[in-house]
């Protein structure tokens, strides 16, 4: 009977010891690493940065004077907002419609796809009827 108790007690001790070893091993094991979060997208350049190379704004506006909107209207998308303003601060952000390109290295001439550029921002901001009718014609 004593031997049985001795081995039984030892068996319990061995089990407790094994559980404590296993528990400490798991506690020390590094937690599984989740995938690193994707880097935040680079901040859009300011309109001043864009115009530093592509400007002045008047030159861009003159070059796009005969743009054809999806509805077939000839309209100049490069306008101050509000349209009667001439203030530099009223030039909309270029990033509203254009994707920024890398500066280093600069893209090869003609490699920027301008077919993706549209006037969706204009429609969302003011021209909700998806036409370029002056606001005053509908809104008094």
Condensed to tens digits (0 to 9), the pLDDT of residues 18-67 reads 555 445 444 444 444 444 433 334 678 999 999 999 999 999 999 999 99
The string of pLDDT tens digits covering residues 62-77 is: 999 999 998 899 999 9
> Is residue 16 over pLDDT 80?
no
Give first-to-last CA distance, the chain, whole Å: 104
Token pair listed for 80: 């101050």
pLDDT band at 133 (very low <50, low <70, confident <90, very high): confident
Structure pTM? Answer: 0.63
SS3 at position 68:
strand
Q: Are 121 and 115 in contact (CB under 8 A)?
A: no
C-alpha to C-alpha distance for 140 and 122, rounded to whole angstroms: 20
pLDDT in the model for residue 70: 87
> Is residue 3 over pLDDT 70?
no
45 CB neighbour count, 10 Å cutoff: 18
Q: Are 129 and 73 in contact (CB under 8 A)?
A: no
pLDDT in the model for residue 52: 95
Closest CA to 71 of 120, 30, 125: 120
């Amino acid at each position: 009977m004593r031997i049985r108790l001795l081995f039984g007690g030892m068996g319990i001790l061995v089990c407790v010891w094994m559980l404590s070893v296993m528990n400490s091993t798991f506690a020390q094991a590094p937690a599984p690493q989740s995938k690193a979060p994707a880097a935040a997208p680079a901040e859009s350049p300011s309109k001043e940065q864009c115009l530093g190379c592509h400007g002045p704004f008047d030159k861009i506006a003159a070059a796009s004077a005969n743009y054809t909107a999806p509805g077939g209207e000839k309209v100049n998308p490069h306008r101050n907002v509000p349209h009667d303003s001439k203030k530099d601060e009223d030039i909309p952000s270029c990033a509203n419609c254009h994707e920024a390109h890398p500066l280093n290295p600069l893209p090869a001439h003609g490699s920027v796809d301008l077919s993706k550029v549209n006037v969706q921002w204009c429609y969302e901001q003011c021209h909700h009827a998806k036409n370029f009718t002056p606001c005053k014609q509908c809104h008094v």
